[in-house]
Amino acid sequence: MKKEILLIYTGGTIGMIKDPKKKSLVPFNFDKVLDALPELKNSEIKLSNISIKKPIDSSNMNIQVWIELAQIIKKNYKQYTGFVVLHGTDTMAFSASAMSFLLENLNKAVIFTGSQIPIGVTRTDAKENLITSIEIAGSGKINEVGVFFEDQLYRGNRTVKVNTEHFEAFQSPNYPVLAQAGVNIKYTSAIDKKTNEDLIVHTHLSNNVAILKLFPAIKTEVIKAILNSAKGIVIESFGSGNAANNAELLKLLKEAIQKEKVLINITQCLHGRAVEEKYQTSDVFVKSGVLCGKDLTTEAAITKLMFLLGQDISIKEIKKNMQKNLRGEITI
C-alpha cells in the first residue's frame, strides 16, 4: 500500500516571504511552499496538504489553533500513514507538547518541523528538515508527537528551543533523541511503543495558568499577583528545585493551595530535575504541598496543566496526573 502523508501548514519562517512594504517576514501561500520543493513531486510517498484557516507566525499561537490541529488529525487519522506539521520554531516546543496531551493513544507519527531560513532562500534549512520529516512520518516506526530539526528527531514534549540563530535550534535536554538522520535514519530505543488502544482526541484546554519564575530579591507582591492570577501555576525555581526559605513565601504558597490551586515546581536549569529535600531550601515547596515536576520542561509543564485543567476531573485527579507520566513527558 502506498504511503500517504498529510502535511499540515500552520505558518512560520519555513513558508514566509519578505513583505515588500514592511520588509519583515510574513506567512504566505502553502502551495508556493511546495513549488519550492520539486523533489517531493517524484517521491514514493503520496503527499497531500492542508493549511490551518489562517497561517501564522508561531508567536501568535493559541488554543484555537491547537484544537484545530487536533481536529484535522482526528478527521484524517485513518486515511494517512503519518502527519507532518509545518510550524514556526518560536513556539514549536509548546505546540508539540500540547498536541502530545491532546492526542491520547497515538499510533502514528505526528512530526513537527520548520526552518530558520524560509524555504525559497538558497541557504534554507527547510528542505532537509521537511524531506526527512516526511520520510520519518512514513516509516511506520514512530507512534508519537516528535520534533524533527537539523538531523535529530526529538520527543515533542521534551523539546526546548535553545537557539535563535543556529540551524540546530532545539534540544531535548533530559531525554535521548528518537532518531538521528545521517546517510541512514537511525531510530533509537527511546521511541514510544505501539498501543492497542484507540486514538482519543481531546479538544479542551484551559488557559487559566501562569508561570512564576523566581529570582533573587523577587518582591512578595509579584509572587502574590502571579499566584492570584490563575488556577494552575508552574513555578520555575532555582537549581534542583530550591527557593528562598522564608516564612512569607511559605504562607503565600500554603494559601494558594488552600484555595484549590495546582502548583508545580520545576527547575530553571535546562538539564537535570527538581527534587525534594535535597537542600533545606526546597522545604517551602514540600511543607506547602507544591507538586514536584521533576524533569518536566516549562513547555510540557504548562501545556500539561492546560490540558488537565481543561478536563472535567477533580483537583485531586489533576494533581495525581500532573505527577504521572502521561505521554513520556516526565521521568518518574
Binding site for ligand ASP (CB under 6 A): 11-13, 57-59, 88-90, 114, 116
Q: Does the CA dihedral 312-316-317-322 come out positive or negative? A: positive
Residue 13 annotated among the catalytic residues of the structure:
yes
CB of 178 to ligand ASP, least distance (A): 21
Cell (9 digits) for 298? 516549562
Nearest-approach distance from CB 95 to ligand ASP, in angstroms: 10
Contact 149, 113 (CB under 8 A): yes
Distance (Å, whole) CA 265 – CA 257:
13
DSSP, collapsed to helix, strand or coil, labels residue 104 as strand
Residue bearing cell 513556539: 91
Least separation in angstroms between CB 99 and ligand ASP: 16
- Between residues 51 and 58, which has the closer beta carbon with respect to ligand ASP? 58
41: which 3 cell numbers? Answer: 513531486
Closest CB 145 distance from ligand ASP, rounded Å? 18
Q: CB within 8 A of 292, min separation 6: which ones? A: 241, 264, 265, 274, 275, 276, 285, 323
Q: Considering the complex, what minimum distance in angstroms separates the CB of residue 191 from ligand ASP? A: 26
Half-sphere exposure of 132 (CA within 13 A, CB side): 25
- CB of 146 vs ligand ASP, minimal distance in Å: 17
Tell me the one-letter amino acid at 172.
S
Supply 45's cell numbers.
510517498
Coil, strand, or helix at residue 115? Answer: coil
- CA 199/CA 219 separation, integer angstroms: 46
- Say if CB 297 and CB 157 are below 8 A apart: yes
Tell me which of 10, 13, 267, 303 is the catalytic residue: 13
Give the CB-nearest residue to ligand ASP: 88
With respect to ligand ASP, which residue has the nearer C-beta, 12 or 232?
Answer: 12
Least Å distance, CB 198 to ligand ASP, is 33
**Under 8 Å CB-to-CB from 136, ≥6 apart: which residues?**
82, 109, 111, 142, 146, 148, 153, 179, 181, 185
Instruction: Give me the count of residues in the chain.
Output: 332
Nearest residue (CB) to ligand ASP, 69 versus 318: 69
- Cα(108)–Cα(119) distance, integer angstroms: 26
Pick the closer one to ligand ASP by CB: 89 or 265: 89
Distance CA 153, CA 45 (A): 20
Catalytic positions: 13
